[in-house]
Every structure is written in C-alpha cells, then in structure tokens.
Amino acid sequence: MESLKTKLFIISGPSGVGKGTLLNSFLEQHRDNVRLSISFTTRKPREGEIDGVNYFFTNEENFKIAIKNNEFLEWAKYSDNYYGTKEAYVYKKLSEGYNLILEIDTQGAFQVKKKIKNASLIFIMPPSIDELEKRLRGRNTETEDAIKRRMDFVKGEIENSKNFDYVIINDNINKALNELTSIFNKNIEE
C-alpha cells in the first residue's frame, strides 16, 4: 500500500466533537479525489442511517468470522459494539485513485499506523469537556445511558491524542476545516 500515490487519513476524536460535521464539508469540497471509508459495525442503525452508506451493518457472529479470517485492516470494540475497516475495501479505494479518510476510534488509528506508516493520524479535540457533552446532547441521537458511556471514553481518547500526528481543536468549524484542508494538502504533495 505504501507504493500507492494516494494517501490514508485517519480522523479520530470523541463522540460529539464534530467529526461528521467537519468531514461533510471537507468531502463536499474534495469530491474528485477523496472518499470516506465505510466501516462494518454490529451497532444498530440510528434513524436515517442506511446500510452501505453510513456503515455496513452486520451481526456479532459475522463480525467475528471476519476477524478470524483476517479481513480487517483494523477493528475495535467501542461502547459494547464492534467496529472495523476491511483491508480489501481500503486497498480498492486507494488503487482506484482516491485518498481515503477513515473516521475511526483511537485504538483502530494506532493499528492502521503500525501497518501503514505514511497514514496521517488527525485528532479532533473539543474546546472543553463541557462543550463536548453539550454537543453530544444537542445532537439528540443517544439515550442518557449511551451519552454516559461515550463520555466515559473521553479521557482515554484525549490521552491517546498525544501519539497523533496532528491535533485540531474544533472550536470554530471554519477554522477547523481550514486546518484540516492544509494538513491534507501538505500530505498529498509529499
């Protein structure tokens, strides 16, 4: 994979920090040469989520078979559900000429970096923990219990960000988008 001209970008950050919002705008501006990787998950679809668009939704049994068969470039258990990126999928997109963004958790990010050294790890940081919780609640997609479980992960995720190549603070969305764009431009030129 290292010999390909196209690059992998890993975006991680706590639930509710604004990764989806940021990536929607970024992808809109880079339709010609960037794609967002679609992960496999055992999580149930949220209202409006479509199989094969937001995720490939699967069950635990099939997910575990794919782990056994070594099909994942990376996978992780996050908040009671399994999430993973299929290696063949990533390779296909990169060889079709697309730079690929993986929006995955920090455990998965490190697994990818171990295998693909020129992947860029980008962490999206909230301006504060209070603001993060406000955004997560404001999105209205999680139950109280799910919010609590997601907030339990935040400290560990922020700790892991120390080993990332870049950290972007998502205070102002346009500023964050500009930073992401310059990181992208710098890395595809290398």
Using a 10 angstrom Cβ sphere, with 0-12 exposed, 13-18 middle and 19 or more buried, the burial of residue 71 is middle
Among 41, 42, 161, 170, binds ligand ADP (CB under 6 A): 170
Q: Is 9 in the site for ligand 5GP (CB under 6 A)?
A: no
Using a 10 angstrom Cβ sphere, with 0-12 exposed, 13-18 middle and 19 or more buried, the burial of residue 155 is exposed
Q: Is 54 in the site for ligand ADP (CB under 6 A)?
A: no
- Contact present, 26 and 179 (Cβ < 8 Å): no
Number of residues in contact with ligand ADP, rule: CB under 6 A?
14
Tokens linked to 43: 């999580």
C-alpha to C-alpha distance for 73 and 84, rounded to whole angstroms: 8
21 binds, among ligand 5GP, ligand ADP, none (CB under 5 to 8 A by kind): ligand ADP
**Comparison of 42 and 170: residue with beta carbon closer to ligand ADP:** 170
At 14 the three-state DSSP class reads coil
Least distance in Å: CB of 87 to ligand 5GP? 11
Among 7, 8, 10, 15, binds ligand 5GP (CB under 6 A): 15
- Contact present, 77 and 67 (Cβ < 8 Å): no
Among 16, 84, 108, 126, binds ligand ADP (CB under 6 A): 16
**Comparison of 6 and 181: residue with beta carbon closer to ligand ADP:** 181
Among 17, 34, 76, 158, binds ligand 5GP (CB under 6 A): 76
